[in-house]
Amino acid sequence: MSVLEIEDLTVVYGARRALDRVSLRVERGAVFVLLGVNGAGKSSLVRCALGEQRPAAGRCRLLGRDAWRERAAILAEVGVVPEEPDAPPAMTARQLLRFCARLYASWDGDGAAARLARFGVPAEVPFGRLSKGQKGQVALTLALASRPALLVLDDPTLGLDPLARRAVFAELIDELADRGTTVFLTTHDLAAVEGIADSVGILIDGRLVVAEELESLKRRFRRLSFAGEEAARAPAVARLGPLAVARHGFQTEAVVSRFDEDDLPPAEAVEVSALSLEEIFLAVAGEMKGAPA
């Protein structure tokens, strides 16, 4: 069953299309990671998915219901961590937990208190006086305490120091192991999510240019290295979908998007290397922008 279904989603701001007929699905129990540079349309997509913004065209179905029309009922089953965590500045973390506990029938108060303790967030300090990292950790604690069917994280580690980022993702990994929570995540921290992502989407200028399982993505993207002139092997490389080809002295490197061992260019020695998620993203973004990857 799809927890989130987005069909032909279009968002327009004046003369600019922030999203252009985007369609994707997030299956129950999956971790879907949405990537894109700043301004690609990620936050607009998240707002529409949560029913906070009405699109110019298309629709979003969250837990099988229309996100715009049934938002109030749906969000009882959705945990959200926004890019900029917000809460009444005078309320402490403990007060926030007590307040939210009255709103959710499945509230996990003991788990939330334990999570704050692991994060090292002071329970009696007003929210407005916490660091950005601590505010994000409080937001994640509140989102998980309701035992959500879907957890939506909009770049939750942006601007955090390495230790705070590590703590957020460690907590997320534990949650996935314990409950198998469905997660929809936007992020710039590609290295951290590579180990937990099931599927990946890439937005470029409002268009979804990639949406597939991570393992499939990593199978078809490769870096080829071989000695000699590129021209002699150009036809073979072209069949593999080159995104970038560069010369380094006597060595030629090509990043390809349709790797197939049977179509490797003829050479005495062709070195084939896997790419990280970050390298794949940079190759795709560079190709779509018409710039070197």
Give me the CATH number covering residue 59: 3.40.50.300
For 281, residues 6+ apart whose C-beta sits below 8 A from its C-beta are 35, 190, 202
Same domain, 233 and 210: no
> pLDDT-based confidence at 268, cuts 50/70/90?
low
Q: What is the pLDDT of residues 165-223, one digit of tens each?
A: 888 888 888 777 677 789 999 988 898 888 889 999 999 999 999 999 999 999 999 99
Q: How many domains does the chain have?
A: 2
pLDDT, position 141:
94
Same domain? 124 vs 90: yes
Q: What is the mean pLDDT of the chain?
A: 88
The confidence band for 164, taking pLDDT boundaries of 50, 70 and 90, is: confident
Residue 266: the pLDDT is 64
In this model, does residue 290 exceed pLDDT 70?
A: no
Residues 234, 201 share a domain: no
Task: Return the higher-pLDDT residue of 89 and 260.
Answer: 89
Spatial distance between the Cα atoms of 250 and 254, rounded to a whole number of angstroms: 14
- Given this model, what pLDDT does residue 170 score? 83
Q: Which of 9-18, 124-133, 191-200, 242-251 has the lowest mean pLDDT?
A: 242-251
Same domain, 250 and 206: no
Structural domain contains residue 107: yes
The amino acid present at 72, given as its one-letter code, is A
Is the domain of 11 the same as that of 49?
yes
Is 285 inside a domain boundary?
no
Q: Which of 30-39, 128-137, 139-148, 177-186 has the lowest mean pLDDT?
A: 177-186
264 shares its domain with 127? no
Give the pLDDT confidence score for residue 292 in this predicted structure: 41
Confidence of residue 239 (pLDDT cuts 50, 70, 90): confident
pTM: 0.89
Structural domain boundaries enclosing 259 = 222-274
Contact yes or no for 44/90 (Cβ under 8 A): no
Judge whether 287 lies within some domain.
Answer: no
The answer as to whether 289 is a domain residue is: no
In a domain, 131, yes or no: yes
Q: Is the pLDDT of residue 232 over 60?
A: no
Residue ending a domain, choose from 180, 214, 248: 214
User: 226 with 152, same domain?
Assistant: no
- Asked whether residue 205 falls in the same domain as residue 235, the answer is no
Q: Indicate if 208 and 236 belong to the same structural domain.
A: no
Q: Note whether residue 279 is domain-resident.
A: no
202 in the same domain as 238: no
Specify the pLDDT at position 221: 93
Q: Are 101 and 171 in contact (CB under 8 A)?
A: no
Tell me, yes or no, whether 291 lies in a domain.
Answer: no
Residue at 280 is within a domain: no
pLDDT at 271: 85
Q: Tell me what pLDDT residue 293 has.
A: 37
Reported as a single tens digit per residue, the pLDDT across 99-138 is: 999 988 889 999 999 999 999 999 999 999 999 889 999 9
Mean pLDDT of the 14-34 span: 94
d(CA 45, CA 204): 13
Buried b / exposed e over 195-211, threshold 16 CB at 10 Å, is ebbbbbbbbbbbbbebb
Q: What pLDDT was estimated at residue 244?
A: 80
pLDDT above 50 (res 275): yes
- pLDDT exceeding 90 applies to what percent of the chain? 59
199 with 230, same domain: the answer is: no
Same domain for 142 and 228, yes or no, is no
* The amino acid at 75: L
